[in-house]
Amino acid sequence: MKNKEINICLLVFGNAARAFCSLLLSKQQELKVRTGYDVNVIAIATMSKGSILNYKGIDLVKTLRDVEKNGRFEATDAVRISTLDLIKTCKAFSRINYYFYL
């Protein structure tokens, strides 16, 4: 049986967001076992590093490495889309989605 999914859209990728992604990577299996959910980051939107959208889940190991090494997302992973359009397109949970639906 396929696990339920929580898809996340990050609207920044500073120190706290990168720490969250590192923590998610280290706790992903534990989260799956304890909650029955697969937690995926499917979109990241930033002004300085670019934006990424992958409905199957972003490769967080690669993304963290790219930002550490180059200060931005790899060009092959990036998408040209406004932040608002990314939020509308990805249909993932984000803080802005939460506020829009209150």
Q: Which pLDDT value is given to residue 93? A: 60
User: Which residue, among 14, 20, 24, has the nearest Cα to 46 in the 3D structure?
Assistant: 14
Tokens found for residue 23: 């923590």
Question: Which domain, by its residues, includes 77?
Answer: 4-101
Overall domain count for the chain: 1
pLDDT tens track for 67-86:
999 998 887 777 888 888 88
> Which SS3 state, helix, strand or coil, does residue 15 take?
helix
Q: Which pLDDT value is given to residue 49? A: 87
pLDDT band at 100 (very low <50, low <70, confident <90, very high): very low
Chain mean position to CA 84: 15
Supply the CATH number for residue 76's domain.
3.40.50.720
| Residue 64 predicted with pLDDT over 60 | yes
At residue 85, φ and ψ (nearest 5 deg) are -65, -35
pLDDT tens track for 17-50:
999 999 999 999 998 999 888 899 999 988 888 8
Q: Which pLDDT value is given to residue 55? A: 87
